[in-house]
Structure 1
Amino acid sequence: MVAAGARGRWLSAPGRLTGVARRPARLILAAVVMLTIAAALAVPAAPTPPEFLHDAVVATIRHGGDFYDVVRDLLRAEPDACAARLLPPALAVVEAALPAWATTALVAAALTILLWAGGLRIGALLSRSSAALLAVSLLAAGIVASAALWLAAPHAAAAAILSALAIVVRHRGQAVAAAAVACAAALIDPAALVTIAVLGALALLDGDRREQAAWLAALLVAAAVLALHLHALSGVLLPPDTMPVGPALARLVGAAFPDVPAGLAAPLLLLAALGWATVGDAIGPRVLGVMIAGVALDGVGGLRSATLPVALVAPGLALAPAALADLVRAARDRRRITVTRVVR
């Protein structure tokens, strides 16, 4: 719902930069300008590494093969073996059991649910109908980016879609549902453990014991399944990784804004991060935390976590105008205090 009676505001509630003093506002604004220019000039865009094993594994299971037998054989020639070894059988088994059209329908249904739930959640942050429409349109762009990611890396796309859904449904006592969705994401791609860790850490700061227990349970279940999966593949000698993989930040830029030149996509990513960082709602730190942690932890143990926030990057651009307006307004503040002496 868009708040009525807030015609002068862009956001339905004051942002974190509302009322900032003039000097800090100028420093932050200068930093934003410099970082935007640096991002445009220095940050490239890189494609997401394709999951070569997935189609072969699905085809083998459909013909009666065993997941672990075929993975042990294929890993010996996999150019990105360290990352491929981490992927559990959940997605391949489900996809092998369904016809291709059913898999496509499931993905489309998940994206539709994300568009509906995310549109309601993010639209409520904005006070104008035009702003809410912009946010939903940008969320639709994030949905398209997630669909494009599915074509190259189904596990990474499933983790990104379910991570985004967990973030947007975690609201008004829905922490258990959010933890269950994030746990499902981690059972498909262990990179979503980053999502669970970030949302669980923020739950610790909030002090909600019920939510803390939900995220702890999700973490334990996903970690246990990953441990069993890795135990089943123990003893497999992995070849050295020969696949060229771009930097994590460059892959997030390329996945969040596909077909957009890097010189434009990188500054857009920075502005989206600014929007999420400054919105005065609990969803902001969670999206920003997944963005930062996903890039920072990408490659650790073979995880490919940089693309986790793909679906929610673009909607952050709808929140950035309020932050920039607050900074410009505070930086231009020329109010003076006049002291008048009265002599009697």
Structure 2
Amino acid sequence: MTALLLLLIASAIVPLKRPVDRPNAAISQNVGAASAAVQDDEDIALYEAVIRKIEAGQHYYDFIADEHRLRRFPVTPGFAVRLPSLAYIEAGLNKLHLGVPMSIAIMLATVAAWWRRFSEEPGIGRLHRLATAMAFVGASLAVNAHYYALHELWAGMLLMLSFGLHRPGTAEQPGRWGAALLCAALALFIREHSLPFVLLMGAIAGWRRQWQEAAAWIALVVAFLAALALHLHIVSGLTLPTDPHGESWLAFRGLSGWLGNIVQSGNLRLLPHWLAGPLAVLTMLGWAGWRSPAGTFAFLISVGYGFAFMIAGRWDNFYWGAMIAPMLTAGLIFAPRALRSLVTAAGPGEQARKAIAR
């Protein structure tokens, strides 16, 4: 309980945006926010330009390196160049004027999938409707048109949909995972940051001895790695000796990296710093306190990505948090229950029982 309290206090204090050395703290926060926004807009401008060129009939690998150089974006390492999947998808959607309708459809499908999953999971009771409402708060990020060109937005929503559609199997009955696999596969080929989600799905399937499902997730990983290797090979052939090397993603920002990514890339960004940081922590606590397959998976995925954000990703990579921020929001509904359990466990009665047992 003491560790949680210290973590909540720290989450309300640590920077969630790029720190700037200025004498006035308020000015520093504003400058940091503006810096992140500028980088964000530059990324979006690049991706939108790529989509327009594909709409005009150009081939992705014929122009992508020059487009990066024009905007002073790195071409090396090859991971700095996005996979072409989303650019072709969005170009096709734009030609049919289906970009906005598709984002709305994904949001509604996600909320519906989570409604059904919450109704089938054990131990939720009357929290069913509230949990779905909070899932809607997270999923509503899908209709933020400013970020339509960002790969993390679409990949994160597809992962949230995959999570809602997935039904883990038991020793007596196989699960339902085909639709979840397809959604996660599309997310993975849009953004490679989806790989931890896929690996965790496969690991849990194996732990439950659902060998057919585990094999399907493994096959997806193998197919993706082959496609990624081909992409990196093509990009390496486009590089020039004069191309600058991209900055390292190993930034070791600690708690600021974890909470900053989650808050800035989700709807918690609309809240003041002192409240948004602790709420991001409580989402993880809530999932940990809900003893169900969904709760266990959400807790593990939040811890895994949280740890990754603590060591990797610069301040201008905050939008990586959109990979999981939408799906974590519903965990807040279970936080009060988890807090009550912690208080009870730390209470005098529990301590007395432990003393007697010893």
* Amino acid across the alignment from 1:62: E
Of all paired residues, the percent bearing the same amino acid is 26
In the alignment, is residue 147 of structure 1 matched against residue 143 of structure 2? yes
Which structure has more RCO (C-alpha within 8 Å, separation ≥ 6)? 1
Q: TM-score, normalization: structure 2?
A: 0.76
Alignment of 1:277 with 2:288, yes or no, is yes
Distance 2:190 2:87 in 1: 9
Residues 142-221 of structure 1 correspond to what in structure 2 (within 5 A)?
142-148=138-144, 151=147, 154-172=150-168, 173-221=175-223
Residues 93 and 293 of structure 1: CA distance in aligned 2, closer, same or farther (over 3 Å): same
2:114 is matched with: 118
Contact 1:121 1:168 survives alignment (8 Å): yes
Which of 67, 72, 87 aligns to 1:74? It is 67
Q: Give the conservation status (yes or no) of the 8 Å contact 1:36–1:267.
A: yes
2:265 is the alignment partner of 1:255: yes
| Alignment RMSD | 3.0
Structure 2: state its 5+ residue gaps. 19-35, 169-174, 354-358
Of 53, 61, 77, the residue aligned with 2:46 is 53
CA contact 1:160–1:309 (8 Å) conserved in 2: yes
SS across alignment from 1:174? coil
Name the CA shift for 1:86/1:303 in 2 (closer, same or farther; >3 Å). Answer: farther
Deviation at 1:153, TM superposition (A): 5.0
Measured in 2, the distance between the counterparts of 1:83 and 1:138 equals: 37
Distance of 2:166 and 2:225 partners within structure 1: 21
Instruction: Find the counterpart in structure 2 of residue 266 from structure 1.
Output: 277
1:149 CA drift (Å): 8.2
Distance 2:56 2:108 in 1: 32
Deviation at 1:115, TM superposition (A): 0.7
Aligned counterpart, 1:137? 133
- Residue in 1 aligned with 2:30? none
Deviation at 1:241, TM superposition (A): 4.0
Indicate conservation of the 8 Å contact 1:86/1:303, yes or no. Answer: no
Distance change in 2, residues 1:273/1:263 (3 Å): same
1:240, CA displacement in angstroms? 4.1
Q: Secondary structure at the match of 1:99?
A: helix
* TM-score w.r.t. length of structure 1: 0.79
CA contact (8 A) 1:162 1:182 kept: yes
C-alpha separation between the residues in 1 aligned to 2:51 and 2:320?
Answer: 23
The CA deviation string for residues 86-144 of structure 1, in whole angstroms up to 9 with x for no partner, is 42111111221233630111111111100110122135445443x22221221111012
Q: Which residue of 2 aligns with 1:309?
A: 324
Normalized per residue, the structure richer in helix is 2
